């Protein structure tokens, strides 16, 4: 019985160590660049509770005339840091930048 308790204790400690090393820093981080071409993409992004993007963020499609259906940025409201640039382009339906209110750090912004 003592051996079972010892084994259980060992696995409990091991599991705790593995859980703590499960890159808690990675929680809420979107790695890479992201382009939002639709409102649904922004809304879906918001459901993942990302607080940081390690690349650039593009809202709208920089390669075409204004056709974006994006009308609000509420799905980006938890975003605090963008490591690279923020591009906001070709969004004729977007009337304000609410949703970006929590941003603290951006390399550069292009409108």
Among the listed residues 111, 109, 106, 110, the one whose alpha carbon sits nearest the alpha carbon of residue 53: 106
Quote the pLDDT of residue 9.
Answer: 44
Taking the domains of the chain in order of start, what are their residue ranges? 25-110
Quote the pLDDT of residue 19.
Answer: 39
Residue 47 backbone zone (phi > 0: left; psi -120 to 50: alpha; other: beta): alpha
Name the pTM for this structure: 0.72
Structure tokens at 53: 């993007």
Quote the pLDDT of residue 2.
Answer: 53
Residues 57 and 24: their CA atoms lie apart, in Å, by 23
Q: Across the 111 residues of the chain, what is the mean pLDDT of every consecutive 10-residue run? A: 48 38 62 94 95 95 69 96 92 90 90 78
Residues 57 and 48: their CA atoms lie apart, in Å, by 16
Quote the pLDDT of residue 23.
Answer: 34
Among the listed residues 52, 40, 49, 33, the one whose alpha carbon sits nearest the alpha carbon of residue 103: 52
């Amino acid at each position: 019985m003592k051996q079972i308790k010892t084994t259980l204790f060992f696995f409990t400690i091991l599991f705790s160590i593995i859980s703590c090393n499960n890159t808690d820093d990675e929680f809420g981080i979107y790695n890479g660049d992201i382009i939002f071409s639709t409102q649904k993409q922004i809304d879906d992004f918001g459901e993942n509770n990302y607080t940081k993007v390690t690349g650039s963020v593009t809202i709208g499609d920089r390669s075409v005339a204004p056709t974006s259906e994006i009308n609000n940025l509420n799905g980006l409201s938890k975003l605090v840091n963008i490591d690279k640039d923020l591009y906001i382009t070709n969004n004729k339906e977007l009337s304000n930048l609410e949703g970006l209110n929590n941003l603290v750090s951006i390399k550069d912004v292009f409108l």
